[in-house]
Chains A and B, each alone.
Chain A
Amino acid sequence: MKTTDTGAALKGFRLFDWLYKYGTLLTIVLLIVIFWASTDHFFSNTNLINILRSISIVTIIATGLTVSLAVGGFDLSVGSTASVACAVVISMFVWHGQPLGVGIAAALMACLVVGLVNALLVTRFNIQDMLMTLATMFVFQGLALTYSRGATISENMILPSGDFATGKIPQSFSLLGRVPWIIIIMLIVVLAVHLFLNYTKYGRYMYMIGGNPEAAKLSGIPVNRYRLLAYVISALLAGLGGIVLGARVGSAEVNAGAPYLMEAVAAAFIGFSVLGSGKPNALGTFAGAVLIGVLSNGLIMLSVPYYAMDIVKGGVLAAALAITYFRGRH
C-alpha cells in the first residue's frame, strides 16, 4: 500500500512537472486542433499570417515588459508609453510634415525619457515597481492625451486654428504596419531580446538581479544601473509597439496603447513557464502572445459574438495560467 502511495505521488510529481514545461505549448496545440476541426479556414496560410500579424503589436510591447520583469520589476506603464509614441510619431507627420526618420526618432526619444523617468522613480524612491509604474501609467496616459488635445490625430484633421492639417503620413511608414514587415519587426524584437537576455552578460546580470537583488549587489553588480537599463528597454520597445500601431491604423487614436497592457501582461506571465524556464523570457512571451492570438482568431472564426468573447478568452487564459502555476503550490 505504501509503495503504491509513493508511486502515485511520484507520477503526480512528474505529470505536473511536464505540464509546467509544456502546458502552454500543449494549450496552443489543443486550441489549434479544436479550431481546425470546427472551422473551414482556420488552417489556411492567410489565416496563420493573420494571427501573427494580429499579435505582433502585443508581442513587441510584451517583450519589453518581459525585460522589466527580468530584473524583478514590473512596468505597468507600457500601454501608456505606446500611446505616447503613437501620438508623437503620427503628429510629427501630420502636424509638422516631418520625414519618416525624424518622426520615429522623436517618438523613440519621448519613450527614452519615459523610461528614464520610470527608472529614476523606481530606483530612487524604493517604492514597489508595480505601484510606481501604476502612477506613471496615468501620468503618461494623461500626457499623451494632453499632447493630442484629447482627440484622434489623423491626416486632414482640423487643427485648433481651424485649418486642415496638411502633413501626410509617408508611404514607407504605413509599410511598417503591413505584412510582412510588421511580422518581421516582431520576430526581430523577440529574437534580439532572447539573445540579449540569455547570451550576453547584461542579460545574465538582469536575471541575477531579478533572482536576488541583495546578492547581486554584494556580487558587485551595479544593480540600479541595470534596473535603469531594463526600464529604458521596456519603454523603447513599448514605444516601438506604439509606432507600429500608428503605422497599422494610420492615425493616433485616444489612448491607443492602453488595451495592449493587459494582454501584454498575460502573455509575459504565461511565458514564465514555457519549456520550464521559470523566469520571464522572450520566447515564452512570444508563445504566450501566440496563445492569446490563436484564441481570439479562432473565436472570431467560430462566430462567437464579440460581447461574449472576453468570457471565453479570460477562461482559457485562467486555465493556461492554472496549468503553469499549479506546480508552485506543492
Chain B
Amino acid sequence: MTQTAAGLLEMRGISIAFPGVQALGGADFTAAAGRAHALIGANGAGKSTLMKVLAGAYGHYTGSIRIDGREAKIRTPRDAKAHGIQVVYQEVDTALVPNLSVGENIMMEKLVHEMKGRHRVRWGDIHRAAQAVLGRLEVSIPTRKLVQELSLAEKQMVLIARAMTTACRFLILDEPTAPLSQAETERLFRLVRLLKSQGTGIIFISHRLPELYEICEDITIMRDGRVVARGEIKDMTQQQIVEHMLGSKWEGQFPRRTNTPGEVMFEAKDIRDGDKVKGASLFIRAGEIVGLAGLVGAGKTELCRALFGASGQVAGELKLGGRRLAVASPHDAVRSGLALVPEERRREGVFVEETVTANLTVATLPQYTRLGAWLSAARERLAAGGMIARLGVKTPDGSARVANLSGGNQQKIAIGKWLLADAEVYIFDEPTKGVDVGAKRDIYELVAGLAARGKCVLYASSEVPEIMGLTDRVYVMYDGRIVRELETDRTSEDEIMLYSTGGTGS
C-alpha cells in the first residue's frame, strides 16, 4: 500500500473547531490514485467534515494536505478544484440547475471559468463535449434533456460527469448509494470501477457495509473526530469495522421483543393517492410492529404520508380502535393520535435553525402553556431535558441549535417530539436512513419500546434486514400496491426481496 508519493493524497493532523464543537482532532487520511477508499464512521464522527476540509469548504482548519508529496494549500473550493479534487455531495439537487439541460449542467465549470474573452455560447460544442464525457463514462442520458426531468441516480451521474470535465484526480462520493435502488447502485458501481481503471482515486463515504467490500480496496474508520483504524478492507470483517466505529463490543443489533400484540387497533382501507398509492389496505394490532417493505419508489413514503393526511384529502378510510378518523391534514392526524417520522429529516423532520428544546416541544406545545397561550419556559425545558436524557441526544443542552447536531442526533429529535406527544399510532418512514450504527440501535430500541407500551407501529424501510429484525408482520409494496402480507417469523429476506421486485411466489 505504501509506494512513492506520486498519486498519493495525504492529509496530516487535520483539526477544526466550530463554536462549541471540536469536529476534528488531528485526523490523518491517505488516499491513492486508481483505488477506492472507504471512509466510514458513525454520524458525528467527522467524516463529512474531513471531506469538506479536503474540498475547501472550510478555511479555518489546522494541519497539512499533500498531493504527490507536495504541499497543497486548500482553503477554498477553488483551490480544491485546482488540485483536482471534486465532490459529489449527497444532496445532488443543491449542485444542479434544474431548469437547464444536462449538457449545460455537465459543462458548467467550462461555461463559468473558460469563457474569458468569448461571449457567444456555442450550443453545438457544449452538447458535443457533454456527450463525449458521458460517452467516456458509458452513461446514456440525452444531453438536451432538462435536469429536472432526471431521476436521482441520473442526477448523480450528471454530477460525476461534471467532475470529469476537469482534471479530476480524486473524486469524493458522499453517501451516493443511500437513495438508490439496487439496479441504480450497480450502475453507479460500474461507473466507479471504470473511473478507477482510468486512474481516478475514489473516496467513498457510506453506511452500507456490504457494498464497501464490493467496491473499495482501502478503508479508514473514524470516531469522535479521529481516525481509529485504517488498512485494506479485505483484512477486516464487518464485525471488526462495526466495533471500530462504535468503540465497544457489538452485541445483537436488534432489541429482543417480549410483548405479544393484542387486538387490532388501527385499520386503513383502500387508501388511494393518484398513481402513487393504488388502493392499499392494512391493519396494525396494539403493540405490534408492522413492516412496510419495498424498493425505493414503490410508494411506501406516499402511503405513509397519505395515512398521515400530508397529501391532502385522499380516498380511503381510517379507523382507530373501531372509531372512524377524519384525517384531511397532519393537524387532524396528530389530534387523532397519529405520528409520522418523515423520511427527509432535514427538510421535513426538524427545524434546523431552532433550538433542541423548541424542536422537541413543537408537537405538544399546548402542554407547556399557562393561562391559555403563554409558554412556560421552565416546563418546556423540563420536558425537553427529560427527553434529551431518555434519547441519549449528544448536545451540550437544550438551547443548542439543531443545525449543529449530527444526523443521528437530529433523527432522535425528530422521533422525540412524537414520544412527548404520546400518540397511538407511530409511522416511521426510513428512520435509520443516513444514521450511524450506534444511533440505529437506539432507534430500534425506541421503536420496540413503543410496541411494548401497546402502541401501533408502522415501520417503512427499504432495508430488508431491518424489517426482518424488528417487525412482527410485513406488508410488501410494489408499484403503489401492497402485494403481499407476510409473517416475519415465517418469511426470509429472499422472499421479501422477491415480492419487492415484482416477482410472484408459487
Contact = CB atoms under 8 A, between A and B. Distances in A.
B351 A200 contact: no
A209 to B, nearest CB: 10
B97 interface: no
A13 B17 CA distance: 12
A278 interface: yes
B365 A204 contact: yes
Interface of A: 2-3, 5-6, 9-10, 13, 199-202, 204-205, 207-208, 211-212, 214-222, 278-279
B421 to A, nearest CB: 8
Given A201-B365, A218-B349, A222-B331, A208 B308 contact: no
B483 to A, nearest CB: 27
A56 B375 CA distance: 29
A201 B368 CA distance: 9
A208 B362 contact: yes
Given A200-B373, A218-B342, 15 more contacts: A6-B61, A200-B369, A200-B375, A201-B366, A204-B362, A208-B351, A208-B354, A208-B358, A211-B351, A212-B347, A212-B353, A215-B348, A217-B329, A220-B331, A222-B331
- 5 nearest A-B residue pairs (beta carbon): A220-B334, A9-B60, A200-B373, A222-B331, A201-B365
14 contacts: A199-B375, A201-B369, A204-B358, A204-B375, A212-B347, A214-B348, A215-B348, A216-B362, A218-B308, A218-B310, A218-B342, A219-B330, A219-B362, A221-B331
A9 B308 CA distance: 47
B227 interface: no
Contacts of B417: 219
Contact of A214 (B333, B347, B363): B347
Contacts of B61: 6
A278 B351 CA distance: 14
Contacts of A2: 62
Contact of A6 (B60, B350, B374, B375): B60
Chain B interface extent, by class: 20 to 34
Nearest to B16: A6
Contacts of B333: 220
Nearest to A10: B60
A211 B374 contact: no
A215 B375 contact: no
A123 B54 CA distance: 44
B335 interface: yes
B340 interface: yes
A153 to B, nearest CB: 39
Contact of B374 (A9, A200, A216, A221): A200
Nearest to B376: A199
A308 B377 CA distance: 49
A199 B374 contact: yes
B59 interface: yes
A98 B354 CA distance: 48
Contact of B335 (A6, A211, A219, A220): A220
B373 A215 contact: no
B62 A3 contact: yes
A214 B417 CA distance: 15
Nearest to A202: B373
A220 B363 contact: yes
A205 B358 CA distance: 10
Given A13-B60, A215-B348, A205 B365 contact: yes
B352 interface: yes
A212 B365 contact: no
B373 A9 contact: no
Contact of A218 (B348, B365, B375): B348
A215 B331 contact: no
Interface in B321-354: 329-331, 333-335, 340, 342, 347-354
A45 B330 CA distance: 55
Contacts of B350: 212, 215
A279 B348 CA distance: 20
Contacts of A202: 373
Contact of A211 (B329, B334, B354): B354
Nearest to B339: A220
A208 B308 CA distance: 20
Contacts of A215: 342, 347-351
A216 B329 CA distance: 12
Given A218-B342, A218-B348, A211 B353 contact: yes
Contacts of A222: 329, 331
A217 B310 contact: yes
A154 to B, nearest CB: 42
A125 B374 CA distance: 33
Contacts of B59: 9
Nearest to A14: B19
A65 B417 CA distance: 31
A279 to B, nearest CB: 8
B108 to A, nearest CB: 21
A95 to B, nearest CB: 40
A71 B62 CA distance: 40
Interface centre among A9, A204, A278 (most CB of B within 10 A): A204
A271 B52 CA distance: 33
Nearest to A220: B334
B347 A221 contact: no
Contacts of B374: 199-200
A204 B354 CA distance: 10
Nearest to B345: A215
Contacts of B308: 218
Contacts of A212: 347-348, 350-353
A6 B373 CA distance: 47
A279 B60 CA distance: 27
A201 B362 CA distance: 9
Contacts of B329: 217, 222
A207 B351 CA distance: 10
Nearest to A212: B351
A184 to B, nearest CB: 23
